Amino acid sequence: MADTGIFATTAEVQRKVGANASTVSNVEAYINDFMTQAESKINAMTRFNWSDAYTGLDVDVKGVLKEAASSMAAMMVIQYDMSTMGSREAETRLDFLHDAFTTSIRFLEDVKAREFINGV
């Protein structure tokens, strides 16, 4: 099976998930599903289809999309079965990943607002 996500790869998500993750959810098939959900959520939350525009985007914007999508997918991997790691460990990872996701979303919303104001 191959990566089907646009914004990030399975390996990038797994690095964010870290040690002691569920052996069921921390595999390519699940991560591909989580990545599709994350990409759709990013597009909906920012009211712009980054997936369709991806190839023409600036490398920095692509990096922010990677950060947002991999963080969201990693949260889904962790929350699938948090019993494989300590609850404190899972909670700390989820907090960190949530912060990375929301910071990225705010940046992407700002990019679209600046383009609208500047008439780009």
CA atoms within 13 A on the CB side of 119: 0
Domain-located, residue 65 = yes
26 neighbors 74 (Cβ within 8 angstroms): no
**What is the span of the domain harbouring residue 96?**
10-115
Q: Is residue 1 part of a domain?
A: no
Nearest CA to 16 among 120, 119, 92, 111? 92
Answer yes or no: is 2 within a domain: no
In a structure prediction context, what are the per-residue pLDDT tens digits for the chain, which is 120 residues long?
A: 688 899 999 999 999 999 999 999 999 999 999 999 999 999 999 999 999 999 999 899 999 999 999 999 999 999 999 999 988 999 999 999 999 999 999 999 988 777 755 665
Domain count, the chain: 1
Q: Specify if 109 maps to a domain.
A: yes
Residue 80 lies in a domain: yes
Would residue 5 count as lying in a domain? no
The structure's pTM equals: 0.91
Determine if residue 27 is left, alpha or beta; phi over 0 gives left, psi from -120 to 50 gives alpha, anything else beta. Answer: beta
The number of CA neighbours under 13 Å toward the Cβ of 79 is: 11
